[in-house]
Amino acid sequence: MSNKKNITCDVAMIGAGHNGLVCAYYLARSGLDVRMYESRDVVGGAAVTEEFHPGYRNSVASYTVSLLNPKVISDMRLYDRGLRVVERDVNNFWPHPDGNVLAFLTDYEQLKQEIALFSAHDAEALERYFDDIAFVADLIRDELLTAPVNYGGGVRDWLKALQLGRRAKKMDRRQTQLLLDIFTQSVADFLAGYFEHDAVKAAFAFDGVVGNYASPYSAGSAYVLLHHAFGEVNGKKGVWGHAIGGMGSITQAMRKACEEHGVEIVTSAAVATIVTNEGGTQGITLTDGQTIQAERVVANTNPWLVYNKFLAPDAVPEDIRERMKRYRNGSGTFRMNVALTGLPQFTCLNQSRTTEQHLTGGIVIAPSLKYMDQAYLDARQSGWSSQPIVEMLIPSTLDPTLAPEGHHVASLFCQQFSPDTDWDTHRDAAVEAILNAVEQYAPGFRDLIVGQQILSPQDLESTFGLVRGDIMHGHLSLDQMYSARPVLGYGDYRTPVKNLYLCGSGTHPGGGVTGVPGHNAAHEILKDRKRW
């Protein structure tokens, strides 16, 4: 039995990741007494900056900025509280085995010229592709900051459905077909409608497998591409950037905003259960036995944990409980952070390329659709790919605060590693495959490494609470999106348990450092508050 004093508050928050911080901010700004309980000793969830080797710091999990919503940035005054985001000079580049390279430059005309080196046809198709992506991305942006139409909901949901219907009616046949294709097709099939060169298709297809344990030929992967397209940096749509000081600078600015409005954040405080009775939730208990009584509980965790770990089996209807047992997690992600004594030398970057400029962007080892497909097939059969998909970022090229002078840090975001593998046994073999993939294009890369951090899917779960290592908090598939995220009938951030809400990436619109689920959940809670 714990001797700690029981605590009472308006809202108890489970988890202090970025969405939880956003939600807590809006609730506290409205006058509610909010307390957050974070199992780790640091605030920020997966968006944190940590020293992983003496003298070397990096964004150890989430690693790049684009999807963070401008309204959240403005409302929380994150720039005033120290956040600074700089744009990459080059978005990404793809080295090829033949020594060639395809670079996605941030300037449209330069990008068009780059693609023309591979295919004049594809360069001409670029404008149509970007126009179509922008059209659908704008549709999604318009629906980001409101709760989805909830199945079985009330008048508000009927009115919203009617509004969406009227908007759909205004779309012509081609636009309607485009929307249908985006949500149902594989990313390979979708891109074939625009481009002919495999290297060009592979470059665009990469976003369809990021955080997606799937082949580029898997149905639904086209939407995952789009999910990475509705962001912006400093008002520029579709651009990616780096937060000076790493991703932790985002969540530390959010923490300041919360604490200035009275939010109390308790770290090293893991939640054991959500307390309920017939009237709904009553609060939470921590693993040390302490009880926090709260009128509302908000979970900033994967929904699977809420329904299958924190709640008693009889707290929710049987059909919902059975459905949530089958909620699909597992993004196939393996993360490494490495400390380097210098910059890697990529053989594809010759005197006609500005090496330092290119090294500010993402370096993607995924030269063809066949390569990406085989990586997935290998992982399904053997647990991991012998030639994995790797995106390397070297943020110290833009941010010298991360490493000693002349030295660098690199993030290795690696894809197609099965969450079902025994990673205690096979972790080293996976690391070898990853380093071999980089070494093929940057000979001598291993010799630069003086320290490393390894995060298998198993490590991502044990460290950050990412169930089965899923960075998205659940597959971005049609059956787990919009009104059905995480489960049909409770897509509006509420749950079957009265006064219990969800605010994490397992709700609309899904994964990424957006702050949108936290924003939307808070506004739904505040709507309910009017009825308290």
64 within 8 A of 241, measured Cβ to Cβ: yes
Is the same domain home to 335 and 315? no
Q: Which residue range forms the structural domain that includes residue 366?
A: 330-467
> Is there a domain that residue 130 lies in?
yes
Is the same domain home to 312 and 399? no
114 within 8 A of 102, measured Cβ to Cβ: yes
Please name which of 221, 211, 162, 151 lies closest in space to residue 484, comparing C-alpha atoms: 151
> Is there a domain that residue 221 lies in?
yes
Helix (H) or strand (E) holding 320: helix 318-325
Is the same domain home to 397 and 463? yes
Give yes or no for residue 163 having a pLDDT over 90: no
Give yes or no for residue 53 having a pLDDT over 50: yes
Counting every residue, how long is the chain? 532
2: confidence class by pLDDT, cuts 50, 70, 90: very low
Give the C-alpha separation, 175 to 317, whole Å: 40
User: Which DSSP state fits 73?
Assistant: H
106: confidence class by pLDDT, cuts 50, 70, 90: confident
Share of the chain above pLDDT 70, in %: 98
Is the same domain home to 479 and 458? no
Is the same domain home to 357 and 457? yes
CATH code, domain with 286 = 3.50.50.60
pLDDT for the residue 1: 39
4: confidence class by pLDDT, cuts 50, 70, 90: low
Is the same domain home to 437 and 363? yes
Give yes or no for residue 262 having a pLDDT over 60: yes
354: confidence class by pLDDT, cuts 50, 70, 90: low
3: confidence class by pLDDT, cuts 50, 70, 90: low
Provide the token pair at 252.
């530390």
Model pTM? 0.96
Phi-psi label, residue 236: left if phi above 0, alpha if psi -120 to 50, beta otherwise: beta
Q: How many domains does the chain have?
A: 3
472 within 8 A of 419, measured Cβ to Cβ: no
> Is there a domain that residue 33 lies in?
yes
Of the chain, the end-to-end C-alpha distance in Å amounts to: 33
* Residue matched to tokens 């994964």: 511
What is the greatest pairwise CA distance in the chain?
A: 73
Per-residue pLDDT tens over the stretch 405-433: 999 999 999 999 999 999 999 999 999 99
Quickly count: other Cβ atoms within 10 Å of residue 478's Cβ.
13
Residue type, 508: H
Give the C-alpha separation, 389 to 375, whole Å: 7
Is the same domain home to 334 and 461? yes
Is the same domain home to 440 and 510? no
Is the same domain home to 462 and 371? yes
> Is there a domain that residue 210 lies in?
no
> Is there a domain that residue 53 lies in?
no
Mean pLDDT over the full length of the chain: 94
Q: Dihedral, CA atoms, 432, 433, 434, 438, nearest 10 degrees?
A: 100
327 within 8 A of 504, measured Cβ to Cβ: no
List Cβ<8 Å contacts ≥24 apart for 506-509: 506/301, 506/302, 506/303, 506/304, 506/327, 506/473, 506/474, 507/303, 508/147, 508/148, 508/481, 508/482, 508/483, 509/140, 509/143, 509/144, 509/227, 509/482
User: What is the three-class DSSP state of 405?
Assistant: coil
> Is there a domain that residue 390 lies in?
yes
Angle between helices 516-529 and 18-29 (to 10 degrees): 30
Average pLDDT in the 180-202 region? Answer: 97
User: What is the three-class DSSP state of 448?
Assistant: helix
Phi–psi pair at 524, nearest 5 degrees: -70, -40
User: Which DSSP state fits 8?
Assistant: E
Q: Which of 419, 448, 467 is the last residue of a domain?
A: 467
Quick one: CA dihedral 124, 128, 130, 133, positive or negative? negative
Give the C-alpha separation, 383 to 377, whole Å: 9
Give the C-alpha separation, 155 to 146, whole Å: 15
302 within 8 A of 470, measured Cβ to Cβ: yes
485 within 8 A of 477, measured Cβ to Cβ: no
Is the same domain home to 341 and 445? yes
Residue type, 463: T
> Is there a domain that residue 502 lies in?
yes
Is the same domain home to 222 and 344? no
Residue type, 371: Y
H runs (alpha helix) in 342-500 = 355-358, 369-382, 423-441, 445-448, 457-464
169: confidence class by pLDDT, cuts 50, 70, 90: confident
List residues bridging with 264 in a β-sheet.
Answer: 35
> Is there a domain that residue 207 lies in?
no
Is the same domain home to 499 and 425? no
Q: Which of 467, 492, 509 is the last residue of a domain?
A: 467
Cα angle 412, 415, 418; round to 5:
125
Helix (H) or strand (E) holding 134: helix 120-144
Average pLDDT in the 431-452 region? Answer: 97
